[in-house]
A and B are shown apart, each in its own frame.
Chain A
Amino acid sequence: MKRIFATLSCFALVLAAQAKLNVVATLPDFGSIAEQIGGDSVKVTSIAKGTEDLHFVDARPSYIRVLNQADVLLESGAEMEIGWLPPLVNSARNSRILADAPGHVILSRGIQLLDVPAGPVDRSMGDVHPAGNPHYWLDPDNAKIVAARIAEVFGRLDPKNAEAYKANLAQFSGKLDGKIAQWTKQMEPFRGTKVVTYHKSFDYFLKRFGLELAGTLEPKPGIEPSPTHIKALIPRMKQEKVKLILIEGFRPRRTPEHVAQQSGAKLVILPGSTGGHPQAKDCFSLFDYDISQIVSALRR
């Protein structure tokens, strides 16, 4: 049986050498990085849309077909896709992307995740991910690690183009380094600014650029704001001089607007994922856009 699998993976490699590497990314953020690393040698499909709530993507049957054809599956990991990806992979009957196959890449491995629970978790704490906060792509340094991992996987599955992937990685990382320096400089004057977010989805971004999370509108992860929680949050925000409320585009507006009005903080709507706003087309423009929104809100 092992031999059959070895033959199959060789077959997959041969196929990959002939055609473009077929890459499926669960999230558009990783799809975008894969496109930059793979260039013309890969075909990338992203399942989730950057505008949607990534925890609750519909397992549309068409994705079974997409996964069936995949040479590489880029999974975010840390239980980000637990509600919708497992049945799709089960139905896809594709040995190249099964757990532990060379083509199944769990990108959260190799990343230092925030909010890893110190003790046991249970669901009375809300939707706490036991592996840690899964929104790690919002730290551009993590995007670099992800890109290196993707280049390494592409090179292994498609050795013919390995050099091109390496070169693309170098170009990507170089560009990102330059951008990170620029973004850091843009954000430097606002270091230590206190912000409130809706969900714990911007933690990596805040940590990277020196902003401080003073609270969330959700009382617990995944639990919608309650009047009691909001009532307690507003005076605390005033006291701690919270400047901004950051929410994604798909969040309801009424409570954040109310809290902004009551606390004096400014409400900023930010895409948390590539494609979450027409201007956030890829990894670079996502941060460009998010940072420009924050900077202009804080300057006002």
Chain B
Amino acid sequence: MKKKFLVSLVCLSAVMVSAQESDLEAVKRQLKEATELFQKTMEQQRQVIESLNKKVNAFEAQQAGATNRPAGGQVVQSTATNAPSPDGTPQKRAWSPSDPIRLFGGGQNYINLSFDGLFSAGTSTAQDIDDLQRGGHDPKQRGFTVQNLELTLDGKVDPYFRGQANMVMTIDPDGETIVEAEEAYAETMALPWNLQLKAGQYLTEFGRLNPTHPHTWGFVDQPLVNSRFLGGDGLRNPGARLSWLMPVPFYSELFLSVQNSGGETATSFRSSGAHSHGGEEEEDALPFGFRHPDNDRGVRHADDLLFAPRFQTSFDLTDSQTLLLGSSAAFGPNSSGAEGDTRSQVYGVDLTWKWKPTSHLGGFPFVQWQTEAMLRRFKAGAFDWDENGNGVADDGELVDLRTGAPASFRSETLTDYGVYSQLLYGFRKGWVAGLRGDYVWGQRGAYEKFAKSFNGELVTSDPMRDCRWRISPNITWYPTEFSKVRLQYNYDQRRRIGEDHSVWLQLEFLLGSHASHKF
């Protein structure tokens, strides 16, 4: 009908025009236009027929009980031009009882939900496995450890924010279940000037490893330098972070985070829980720097908060090689000793290089080399162990063996270093061999240079700053990207304690929405 109408319309107009102008050229032009219009209409009609044919086929297939039935959000669209509606929104279709029911990933996508379980089993020659494995989610006992049970929720909050929450549970060696609100933050999606704001509770973007979760790591345990400077559970606190994607031809991003400087996840800062035996308050343990953290001044000024700037940049060296370089810092007060303006600075540089050929299968093979080096300058406050002022060495006091009286320390700056370097080689699909080296050491402080006794034991150097290193080869098998099995051996060497050997077997499984991988 439409076709005939159009054709007659065109013919009519052509005749009318020719009658008026009575010019041969004009008629020829009109005829050419009419022919073009006719052909265009034909083409459109042909496309409609084609698309209707496709629809008929689809319905026939559906009735024949075939499985290729459009469902959920995917509905065949056919318009007169064989193109979908301008915004690409699928047409709504009535629900039928045979339709698949989806909790997520389908039509609505309010929340992506996933659960990750990370477990390990193994043994170690060390008598003090708690001290050997300083990471909060490391295997901590002979036998089995529940390292990390993580519930992740994320989604778009509204047109302006996306939100994410990571709720983590672990079971400590005493069988106690510990719940951590590890991360819960909102992040803007499109602020002007290439800015992005993140606010809530989150892992500080310091270095490569700190902002990531244990199940994404290439090794069973946390690198020693991270445990020592940023804490077993990582440096994380409530705060806000602004980042700026710099307008330069290569990827460069600048971050500035402002967070609370207190609490047990602010190691090196106003954390109160850093003792040389485990994370918990213990009467028979010496605190970090051999002085109690009694100097917590609270937050009086803006600079009593924790400030963490970071700069990172990346280059594609070739189609198959990527380099990422970063430098980070964290500044804030600490509560060491009894008095003084004690502050800490942690600096870090990191390098990640990855090779993955452009003909990879499932992401394999690949080689990834990641190294982080850190420096900490920690101002330890003045502290006198003779807290009751009687001048006599009482129980639970550190005694200066040169005088026999309770030890008294002046304020001093403690400088520590740490580095780890890891190489991961994905040698065939699903298989990764890894090797990591850890090294942490500190400059000997004045407080370490003389003999002391604590609860009848001779003490000189601070075990939380003493030199130690570790070599960890491992092998991981990923049956799919949703599970892994890992076997790792650790050779540990601690000054004044000696060598230890540990073997850990790790299992991970992931349920729920598909994980996306950041570089």
Give residues in A with beta carbon < 8 Å to B.
1, 5, 49, 51-53, 55-56, 58-62, 64-65, 68, 78-79, 82-87, 90-95, 98-100, 102, 105-106, 108-110, 112-121, 123, 127, 130-132, 144-145, 148-149, 152, 156, 222-224, 249-252
CB-based contact B245/A65 at 8 Å = yes
A49 / chain B contacts, CB cutoff of 8 Å: 319, 358
CB-CB nearest in chain A for B319: A49
B184 / chain A contacts, CB cutoff of 8 Å: none
A55 / chain B contacts, CB cutoff of 8 Å: 362
CB-based contact A148/B81 at 8 Å = yes
CB-based contact A62/B68 at 8 Å = no
Closest chain B CB from A49 CB (angstroms): 5
**Which residues of chain B (51-107) have a CB below 8 Å from chain A?**
54, 58, 67-74, 76-77, 81-84, 86-90, 98, 100-102, 105-106
Closest chain A CB from B469 CB (angstroms): 31
In the complex, identify which listed stretch (B185-193, B233-241, B377-385) lies at the interface while the others stay far away.
B185-193
Q: Does B322 belong to the interface (CB within 8 Å)?
A: yes
Complex CA distance for A152 and B72, rounded to whole angstroms? 25
Contact of A117 among B67, B73, B319 (CB under 8 A): B67
- Between A and B, 5 residue pairs with Cβ closer than 8 Å are A1-B160, A58-B354, A58-B363, A91-B245, A98-B189
Contact of A82 among B190, B354, B516 (CB under 8 A): B516
CB-based contact B360/A52 at 8 Å = yes
- Also in contact, A53 and B189, with CB within 8 A (given A68-B245, A99-B156, A119-B100): no
Which 10 pairs between the two chains have the least Cβ-Cβ distance?
A: A110-B84, A95-B190, A61-B314, A56-B363, A61-B251, A148-B83, A109-B88, A65-B251, A118-B67, A250-B359
- Main secondary structure, interface of A, reads loop
Complex CA distance for A12 and B471, rounded to whole angstroms? 53
User: CB-CB contacts of B309-332 with A at 8 A, as 1s and 0s?
Assistant: 000101110010010100000000
CB-based contact A117/B100 at 8 Å = yes
Q: Does B429 belong to the interface (CB within 8 Å)?
A: yes
Complex CA distance for A93 and B253, rounded to whole angstroms? 12
Q: Does B195 belong to the interface (CB within 8 Å)?
A: yes
- Also in contact, A62 and B314, with CB within 8 A (given A52-B360, A56-B360, A85-B516): yes
CB-based contact B362/A56 at 8 Å = yes
Contact of B518 among A87, A127, A223 (CB under 8 A): A87
CB-based contact B519/A115 at 8 Å = no
Complex CA distance for A149 and B88, rounded to whole angstroms? 9
- Also in contact, A224 and B430, with CB within 8 A (given A56-B363, A84-B516): yes
CB-based contact B516/A83 at 8 Å = yes
CB-based contact B514/A79 at 8 Å = yes
**Which residues of chain B (417-466) have a CB below 8 Å from chain A?**
429-430
Q: Does B194 belong to the interface (CB within 8 Å)?
A: yes
A250 / chain B contacts, CB cutoff of 8 Å: 359-361
CB-CB nearest in chain B for A153: B86
A118 / chain B contacts, CB cutoff of 8 Å: 67, 69, 71, 98, 100
Closest chain A CB from B171 CB (angstroms): 26
Q: Does B282 belong to the interface (CB within 8 Å)?
A: no
CB-based contact B518/A112 at 8 Å = no
- Also in contact, A64 and B515, with CB within 8 A (given A52-B358, A116-B70): no
Q: Does B494 belong to the interface (CB within 8 Å)?
A: no
Closest chain B CB from A255 CB (angstroms): 12
Complex CA distance for A252 and B69, rounded to whole angstroms? 33
Query: Other CB < 8 Å A-B pairs besides A1-B160, A130-B102, 4 of them?
Result: A64-B251, A112-B76, A117-B67, A132-B74
B324 / chain A contacts, CB cutoff of 8 Å: 61
A117 / chain B contacts, CB cutoff of 8 Å: 67, 71, 100
B514 / chain A contacts, CB cutoff of 8 Å: 79, 82-83
Closest chain B CB from A108 CB (angstroms): 7
CB-based contact B189/A87 at 8 Å = no
Closest chain B CB from A270 CB (angstroms): 14
CB-CB nearest in chain B for A150: B83
B194 / chain A contacts, CB cutoff of 8 Å: 68, 93
- Also in contact, A53 and B480, with CB within 8 A (given A61-B251, A65-B250, A130-B106): no
Complex CA distance for A120 and B106, rounded to whole angstroms? 11
Closest chain A CB from B474 CB (angstroms): 22
B187 / chain A contacts, CB cutoff of 8 Å: 90
Closest chain B CB from A6 CB (angstroms): 12
Complex CA distance for A84 and B101, rounded to whole angstroms? 26
Q: Does B481 belong to the interface (CB within 8 Å)?
A: yes
CB-based contact B359/A249 at 8 Å = yes
| Count, chain B residues at interface, CB 8 A | 70
B110 / chain A contacts, CB cutoff of 8 Å: none
B515 / chain A contacts, CB cutoff of 8 Å: 83
- Also in contact, A64 and B74, with CB within 8 A (given A58-B354, A116-B68, A250-B361): no
CB-based contact B316/A62 at 8 Å = yes
Q: Does B2 belong to the interface (CB within 8 Å)?
A: no
Residue among A105, A109, A119 with the highest chain B CB neighbour number at 10 A = A109
CB-based contact A116/B358 at 8 Å = no
CB-CB nearest in chain B for A69: B247
A131 / chain B contacts, CB cutoff of 8 Å: 72-74
B250 / chain A contacts, CB cutoff of 8 Å: 62, 65
Closest chain A CB from B43 CB (angstroms): 8
Closest chain B CB from A59 CB (angstroms): 5
User: CB-CB contacts of B483-500 with A at 8 A, as 1s and 0s?
Assistant: 000000000000000000
Closest chain A CB from B329 CB (angstroms): 20
Complex CA distance for A99 and B76, rounded to whole angstroms? 21
Closest chain A CB from B74 CB (angstroms): 5
CB-based contact B83/A116 at 8 Å = no
CB-based contact B82/A87 at 8 Å = no
CB-based contact B356/A58 at 8 Å = yes
Complex CA distance for A98 and B515, rounded to whole angstroms? 19
Q: Does B196 belong to the interface (CB within 8 Å)?
A: yes
Q: Does B4 belong to the interface (CB within 8 Å)?
A: no
Complex CA distance for A53 and B105, rounded to whole angstroms? 22
CB-CB nearest in chain B for A86: B516
Complex CA distance for A131 and B101, rounded to whole angstroms? 13
**Which residues of chain B (151-193) have a CB below 8 Å from chain A?**
156, 159-160, 162, 187-191
CB-based contact A93/B77 at 8 Å = no
B189 / chain A contacts, CB cutoff of 8 Å: 90, 93, 95, 98
User: CB-CB contacts of B335-362 with A at 8 A, as 1s and 0s?
Assistant: 0000000000000000000101011111
CB-CB nearest in chain B for A155: B86
Complex CA distance for A110 and B75, rounded to whole angstroms? 7
Complex CA distance for A222 and B482, rounded to whole angstroms? 12
CB-CB nearest in chain A for B356: A58
Closest chain B CB from A55 CB (angstroms): 7
- Also in contact, A112 and B356, with CB within 8 A (given A61-B519, A79-B514, A149-B84): no
Closest chain A CB from B93 CB (angstroms): 13
Closest chain B CB from A162 CB (angstroms): 13
Q: Does B517 belong to the interface (CB within 8 Å)?
A: yes
A5 / chain B contacts, CB cutoff of 8 Å: 159
- Also in contact, A110 and B77, with CB within 8 A (given A93-B196, A222-B480): yes
CB-based contact B74/A59 at 8 Å = no
Contact of A58 among B159, B160, B251, B322 (CB under 8 A): B322
Complex CA distance for A149 and B312, rounded to whole angstroms? 38
CB-based contact B519/A109 at 8 Å = no
CB-based contact B517/A116 at 8 Å = no
CB-based contact A109/B84 at 8 Å = yes
